[in-house]
Structure formats: C-alpha cells, structure tokens
Structure 1
C-alpha cells in the first residue's frame, strides 16, 4: 500500500508541475496587453511602461513563472489587475459559492443515481428498468443550461417559490443560501445523475454474471441481498471513476449555470477576468481548478485501493 501511495504522490506532484508550466506558457502567448486594455489605446508610452513595471510584466518569462509558482506555494496568487485585490481573496470569496454548489450537486446526483442504477440492474428488462433508462437518456440529451432556464421559468417566474438568481451570502444564514443553490444544483445534478445511473446499472449487470454471485444466490440470498452484500462493492470502481470526474467537472465547469443564476462563483470570476484581460486572475484560478482536478483524481486512486485490495499489491 505504501508503494502504491508513493507512486500516486509522485504522479500528483509531476502533474501539478506540468499543469503550471502549460497554463503559464499558454497565457503568455495570448494576444493582447493587460496594460493597454486597462489604460486604453490612447495612453502614453511612458504611462504604459510604468503600469507594466507595476504589474510585473517586464521581467523575463522564466523569472515571472518562478515568482508566480513560489507565491502560490505561500498562498500568494498575485494582485488582480482589475479589482486591485489579492487574487487569493477573490478566490476565497467565490469558492464560498462554487464549492457548496459542487458538493450539493454531487450529493443530489449520487442520491438519485445509485438507487436508480441498482433498481434498473435488479429489474433488468422490466418496466422499472426501461423507465430508468428512458429518464437517464433524456437527462443526458437535455443541455443543463436549457434545463436551468426551464427551472427558473417554472419555480421562480410561474410559481414564485424561489428567486430567479443571486446569492444572499452566508451571513444571511444557511437556509436562504441552500434555497438559492437548490435550482442550480438540480440543473447541474440531472445530467451527472443520468450518466452515473447508467454506469452503475452496467457495472452491476456485469457483476451479476460472475461466479461469486451465483454462489451467493445458491446459498439462499435473494437477488437484492446479493447485490447489496457482494455485487455493489465490486461495481464501485467504475462508479468512483465517474464520481471523481463529475466533481472536477462540476467545480470547474459550472460557468454557464453560474451565469444563468447570477451566482458569484469561480466560473463567473474566470469569465469576468477573461473579458477584462485580467490574466493573473485567470492564470491563478485556472491553476487552482486544475490542481483540484488532479487532487480529486489522486483521492479517487486511493479510493480504488480501498475498494479493491488487489491494487495495493506490488506490480
């Protein structure tokens, strides 16, 4: 297990280094100058040069990369060109929206998908299986932003149960914020739950044809008991893979949903920073999201080893 853990840690560190190099290099070749964008095209060359010096844009690229990397290791992501605020502070403020939204959507997706997948697998070919497969096919086919607008139309505009967008802030209490995040979480969870339910069904159906399941049934267990006690754990590896990918997608890919519901999250911050040529904010937030994806994949690998003891063995 220790050898497996060390190999995963080395892979984690190398992935983070490569990701930081790629992100920094890509943003260096993006056309446009943040200083000219901030000052306008009619700014004098002296003013432009002074601002570039103030923003640290004149130094050699390798030195700027090392300075940025060292700063991130100490929690200093730089100063936003647009907001004149430390990027770390902006990230902390926006993460208070994006992270709870991601966890909320993941919880809804898992609570819906795993029971639905188990029911579909246990009743393969019956009406309940066909119903689950039909609903999940619809969930995959419908774009989440269209579903989000439909939720706003029904529950906010027609029924007036919730507001159509915005975020009151955690100082207003837990309940108002959970209400504000419910429709975005549902819009994000529907396609993810559909994918997860289909993966769960397929993995369980494959497990049901294994010899150990036949032995369990021969000992007197019902099909439901055999699934819960034996097949479920063996079907978890592909499910864990999807869960890891979904968490990463929900954290980094909720830009459209955050804009539909006007949520001040990380996705909206990236969108605003790109439109305002705030490259240091884009660079730092993207690196943080990529790091979150890599760490989640690392934790997923550890979950594999916990579920399947064979992965802990050398070789």
Structure 2
C-alpha cells in the first residue's frame, strides 16, 4: 500500500510541474500588456515602463516563472494588478464560496445518483428501470445554466422561497449562507447525478453478471444480499473515478452558474481577471484549480487501493 501511494505521489508532483509550465506559457502568449491596459490608452510610455518595473513585468520570462513558482511554494501568490491586494487573500475569500458550493453539489449528486443507479440495476428491464433511465437522459440533456434560470424563475421570483442571487457571507449564519447556495448546487448537481446514476447502473449490471455473484446465488443468497454484500463494492471502482472527476468539474467549471447567481467564487474571479488582464490572478487561480484536480485524482487512486486489495499487493 505504501509503495503504491508513493508512486501515485510521484505522479502528482510531476503532473504539477508540467501543469505549472503549461499554464505559465499559455498565459504569457496572451496578447496585450497588463500595464498598458491598467493605465489606459492615453498613458505615457515612461509611465507604462515604470508600472511594468513595479509589477515585475520587465523581467525575463524565466525569472518571472521561477519567481511565480517560488511564490506559490511559499504561499505568496503575488499582488493583483487590478485589486492591488495579495492574490492569496482574494483567492481565499472566493474559495470559501466555491468549495462549499462544490461540496454541496457533490453531496446532492451522490444522494441522488446512488439510489437511482442501484434501483435501476436491481430491476433491470422493468418500468422502474426505464423510468429512472429516462429521467437521467433528460438530466444529461438539459443545460445546467438553463435549468438554473428556470429555478430562479420558479423558486425565487414566483414562490420567493430563495434569493435570486448573491451570497450574504458566512458571518450572516451557516443556514442562511447554505440556503443561498441551494439553487446553484441543485443546478450543478442535476446533470452530474444523471451521469453518475447511469455509470452506477452500468457498472453494477456488469458486476452482477460475474461468476462469483452467480456462485453466491447458488449458495443460497438472495439477489439483494448478493448485490449489497458482494457486487456493490466491486462496482464502485469506475464510480469513484466519475465522482473524482465530477468534484473537480464542480470546483473548476462553475463559471456560468456563479455568473447566473452572482456568486463571488473562483469561477467568476477567473472570468473577471481575464477580462481585466489581471494575469497574476489568472495564473494563480488556474494553478490552484489544477492542484485541486490532481489532488482529487490522487485521493481517488488511494480509494481504489482501499476498495480493490489487488492494488495494495502491487498487482
């Protein structure tokens, strides 16, 4: 188990190194000068040059890269060109919105998908199975931003059960803040739950067709006992992969939903920073999101080893 974990950790470090090079290179080739953008079209050349020196933009590409990576390792993400405040503070403030939103949406996804997938697999070919698969197909087909706008219209404008957007802050109370994240979380969870339910059903049906499950039935176990005691655990391996990918998507891919509900999260921060040419914020936030994706994949790999003993034995 330890050797397996160390191999996965080595892959994590190499992935982060490659990602940092790619992110920095992509941001560097973006046209436009941040200093000239900040000062406007009427700025003088000497003023632009002074600002470039202040921001460190006059250094070579290699110096800027190593300064940026060194800052990331020490927790210093630099100073935002637009907000003129430490990027770490801005990111931390926005992370307290995006991270709970992603966790909330993932929890709803699992709570909806697992029972639906298991129910459909246990009643294969029945009306229940066809109904569940029909609803999941509908969930995959509906764009989450369109579903979000429908929920705003129904639950915020007509019924007035929820606010139409914005985030009051955690200082206003836990339940008030979670209530403001409920509609965005549901909008994010619907398509993900549909995908996960279909994967759960498919994986469980494949596992139920294995020889060891038939042997369990031949020894006297009921279909439900064979499913819950033996088939379900082995069916979780591909499901864990999807859950890890979904959490990464929910954390990094909620830009549209955050803009629909006017949530001050990481996705909206990246969108605003790109439009304002605040490259240091874009680089830092994207690198943080990449780190989250790779870390989640590392956690999924460790979960594989916990579920499948063959991986712990190095097979």
Superposition TM-score tier, normalisation by shorter sequence: over 0.9
2-side partners of 1:70 and 1:160: how far apart?
49
Residue aligned with 1:166, SS: coil
2-side partners of 1:94 and 1:12: how far apart?
25
TM-score (norm 1): 0.99
Q: Is residue 307 from structure 1 mapped to residue 307 from structure 2 by the alignment?
A: yes
2-side partners of 1:42 and 1:100: how far apart?
43
2-side partners of 1:112 and 1:216: how far apart?
29
| Cα root mean square deviation, aligned | 0.7
Residue aligned with 2:214, SS: helix
How many residue pairs match? The answer is: 315
2-side partners of 1:42 and 1:261: how far apart?
36
How far did 1:168 drift? 0.5
The aligned residue for residue 121 of structure 1 is: 121
How far did 1:311 drift? 1.2
Q: Is residue 59 from structure 1 mapped to residue 65 from structure 2 by the alignment?
A: no
The aligned residue for residue 213 of structure 1 is: 213
The aligned residue for residue 78 of structure 1 is: 78
How far did 1:221 drift? 2.0
Give the alignment of 1:195-274 within 5 angstroms: 195-274=195-274
2-side partners of 1:23 and 1:266: how far apart?
17
User: Which ranges of structure 2 fall in alignment gaps of 5 or more residues?
Assistant: none
Give the alignment of 1:44-193 within 5 angstroms: 44-193=44-193
Residue aligned with 2:31, SS: coil
User: Which ranges of structure 1 fall in alignment gaps of 5 or more residues?
Assistant: none
Residue aligned with 2:57, SS: coil
2-side partners of 1:49 and 1:236: how far apart?
57
2-side partners of 1:205 and 1:36: how far apart?
60
Runs of 4+ in 1 over 3 A off after TM superposition: none
How far did 1:261 drift? 0.4
The aligned residue for residue 280 of structure 1 is: 280
Could you give the per-residue CA deviations for residues 22-57 of structure 1, whole angstroms, max 9, x where no partner exists? 000111111001001000111101100000000100
Could you give the per-residue CA deviations for residues 231-289 of structure 1, whole angstroms, max 9, x where no partner exists? 11000010000000000000000000000000000000000000100000000000000
2-side partners of 1:296 and 1:162: how far apart?
31
2-side partners of 1:162 and 1:52: how far apart?
46
1-side partners of 2:125 and 2:159: how far apart?
38
Could you give the per-residue CA deviations for residues 192-231 of structure 1, whole angstroms, max 9, x where no partner exists? 0000000000001001111111122122222122111111
